[in-house]
Structure 1
Amino acid sequence: MESITKNRQSPDTLRVMVERAYGADRVPVGDGWVSELGHGWFNVAYRIRLRDGAEVVLKIAPPPQVEVMTYERGAMSTELATLELLRTHTVVPVPAVDFADQSHELCDADYFFMPYVDADNLGIIAESLPVAERDAYMEQVGAANREINSLRGKAFGPLVGPGDPSWRRVFTRMLEDVLRDGERRSVDIGWSYDTVRAVVAEHAGSLDEVTEPRLVEWDLWDSNVLVGDGKVVCVIDHERAFYGDPLIEAGFTGTQLAAFGDPAAFMRGYGHGELTATQQVRRSLYGLYLMLIMVIETVYRGHPDTKQYDWARPKLDDAMTLLGRTRQ
């Protein structure tokens, strides 16, 4: 996915970054040692073959002059903190961090290196798999997501703080940040921004049922899952994690928005039954939040076409319908 947030660097700069991380004797020479992993939507990632033949991935945060959405600020710091939590407190397979640099001495943004994982991206191969095999993978994803959600926080909100004891306050602030991002860039969401605010206020009471902060990935789609030989090999891309309500996780999105696929296998693996009435309201708010982001981020990413916007805008209408608003 092409995006102006991808902070591409020259081969010379990449070699210097490799030297700092792994030492001069492992710096690649010749040609063909680097390729861009183009599947991501936000950070640039390179697959690099070191001089000794080992393969690693370099992930670089967006350049400082590119405006990102409010919730994306400091995303790489969040990812590094999340990886540390998951490595030390769960058995969920995540990448090791070989080296991280937040000094901005060699590059104008944060970056880190991790080993390259030789596995298939579930999001890419899912449609080619037999249904039973795909469902088996999604059950494993559900189980892994449940384990991630088992980690408790001291307060709701960002991993690095500040936190708040009220999930209602945290989530409504998160959603308001997205609305302000859209207003700042005059993004046409198809609705009055104040109408969206009114809908959220009408249903915000459902958020008070959530009283225990849990670690949530929020971005755990099948495209962030690497698989092989019938097993989930690695879960990647943790930069959007926070302490919140597990029901906001991506795997539950299809319970109400059919365009995101059948969630049955994920929910079996997670061990979650039918949603209660209050949970359905909360899930509708979370679907609205997601669709607002998917519409508004197209302007911030500078997409070369309107494909994502055209797909997401009707889904935003669907999310509003779930909350009692229909277009006149």
Structure 2
Amino acid sequence: MEFQPIERAAQAFQQPVTARHIEQISRRVFDGDAVSARELGLGMYNNTYKVTVEGQDRPVIMRFAPEPARQFASERELMRNEYATVPYLSVIAPLMPRVIAADWSHELIGRDYLIQTCLGGVPAPEHLRDYPRPTWRSFYRRLGEITRTVHDVRGPRFGPVAAPAYDTWSQAVAGSLAEIAADVESVGLDAADLRKVADLAAERHHLLDEITEPRLLAGDLWTVNVMIAAEAPEPTITGVLDLDRTWWGDPAADWTIRLASARRDERLAFWEAYGELGGDQAAEWRSLVYEVRHLGAVRLERHRHGQGDRVRESYDAVAAALAALTSGRRHI
């Protein structure tokens, strides 16, 4: 088999699998030999390979989760969470890869893995900039449509799709913040700021519990997880992938909403399709709590990839949000 892994440092978070692993999995799932396997480098969590298998018309995608011991508690079994979300993502099924096989047994390799169909198109992070910026509006408008479609899906309880489930939104948010704080502390970093916000979320639960209907949050839907047509006159979305951080909760808490709100540029077209969020003082207060949750997860991600300066930046950002949460808003 022709095998093309990405060379990584021994201390890197992402650790490759071996050619032998891919060969064994190909025989188990397809009853055929792997002809070639090339590791794809866009993702920062799972290891992803484009694999050609004897007897298959098209290449397939094999994705390997980190070993269980390497996973943070706040990111536990994300691949299983993605798998549990597939039935709820039927609303955008034409854009999604189909699952061919999933294996949580750890019999062949001590890691969860998924095999999926290979989406057509090219990665948006690599090719969106090939288009004139004015044409990006159509891209963001379509992203707004897709996000609205996902957010319109209603769920049974709050929290990650697979588990744990919470009866109230405040419990889900406070629980998530506490988990992220514990993970931050587990790598030797200070998480007192995150714990203060977790305590605030529990103390002022009535503001979070104005959200009574769990909606599906994509978790990580943005350009990095989008495919676009290879030769279209304007950037045209052909697929979305890696939605492993899905949640049931308040759409305003979604990572996609955070990024769509970050700049007033071409991404304003997102809101033309999605619609305005609106909201009162309570909604503004909740948005600050959501921002701290995002910043906590970002702090972990930056630490994992050795970005010390950017880890320190996260403390200033959380301090600003915490100050806004506790000043002048006690009456709401």
TM-score range, shorter chain: 0.7 to 0.9
2:246 pairs with one of 241, 244, 248:
241
Give 3-state SS (helix, strand or coil) of 2:96's partner. Answer: coil
Partner of 1:289: 293
Alpha-carbon distance between aligned partners in 1 of 2:68 and 2:81, rounded to the nearest angstrom = 17
Alpha-carbon distance, 1:273 to partner? 4.5
The residue aligned with 1:81 is: 84
User: How far apart, CA to CA, are the structure 2 residues paired with 1:219 and 1:127?
Assistant: 20
TM-score by length of 1: 0.85
Rounded to whole Å, the distance in 1 between the matches of 2:311 and 2:204 is 26
CA contact (8 A) 2:64 2:114 kept: yes
Q: Could you tell me which of 47, 51, 57 is aligned with 1:48?
A: 51
**Aligned-pair CA distance for 1:185:** 2.5
1:34 and 2:40 equivalent? no
Q: Secondary structure at the match of 1:65?
A: helix
Q: 1:128-163 CA distances to partner (integer Å, 9 max, x unpaired)?
A: 432332221111111111111121111112323442
1:11-45 residue CA offsets vs partner (Å, 9 max, x unmatched): 12211111112122xx234xxx2211111111100
Instruction: Find the aligned partners of 1:262 and 1:318 in 2 and give their Cα distance.
Output: 27
Higher relative contact order, structure no. (Cα contacts within 8 Å, ≥ 6 residues apart): 1
C-alpha separation in 2, matches of 1:298 and 1:102: 28
Query: Using the alignment, how far apart are the partners of 1:320 and 1:129 within structure 2?
Result: 39
1:302-328 Cα shifts (integer Å, max 9, x gaps) = x24436535645443443354357xxx
Amino acid across the alignment from 1:40: G
3-state SS of paired residue (1:212): coil
> Counterpart in 2 of 1:125?
127
1:224 aligns with 2:225: yes
Q: CA deviation at 1:55?
A: 1.2
Structure 1 gap segments, 5+ residues each = none
2:12 counterpart of 1:12: no
**Quick check: 2:103–2:112 contact (8 Å CA) kept in 1?**
yes
Q: Is the 8 A contact 1:152 1:212 kept in 2?
A: yes
1:192-214 CA-to-partner distances (Å, cap 9, x unmatched) read 45544455456544212200011
1:223-260 CA deviation, whole Å, 9 max, x = no partner? 111111343211111111121111112232147655x9
Q: CA separation of 1:49/1:144 partners in 2, compared to 1, >3 Å: closer, same or farther?
A: same
Letter in 2 for 1:246: P
1:46 deviates by 0.7
Residues 57-83 of structure 1: CA deviation (Å, up to 9, x unaligned): 1001111332x2222112111111112
Secondary structure at the counterpart of residue 107 of structure 1: coil
Structure 2 unaligned runs (5+)?
Answer: 1-5, 328-332
Give the structure-2-normalised TM-score. Answer: 0.84
Paired position in structure 1 for 2:31: 23
Other structure's SS at 2:189 match: coil
In the alignment, is the contact (CA less than 8 A) between 1:86 and 1:92 conserved in 2?
no
Of 204-213 and 238-247, more deviation after overlay is shown by 204-213
Distance 2:46 2:316 in 1: 27
How far apart, CA to CA, are the structure 2 residues paired with 1:75 and 1:268?
31
**% same residue:** 24
Moved more, 71-80 or 1-10: 1-10
How far apart in 1 are the matches of 2:313 and 2:41? 21
* Aligned-residue CA RMSD (Å): 2.8
Secondary structure of the residue aligned to 1:113 is: strand
Residues 157 and 165 of structure 2 are in contact (CA less than 8 Å); yes or no, is this contact kept in structure 1?
A: yes
What SS is found at the alignment partner of 2:160?
Answer: coil
Deviation track 1:280-305 (CA, whole Å, cap 9, x = no partner) reads: 22222111100111112334x3x244
2:72 to 69, 74, 95: 69
Query: Which residue identity does 2:176 align to in structure 1?
Result: M
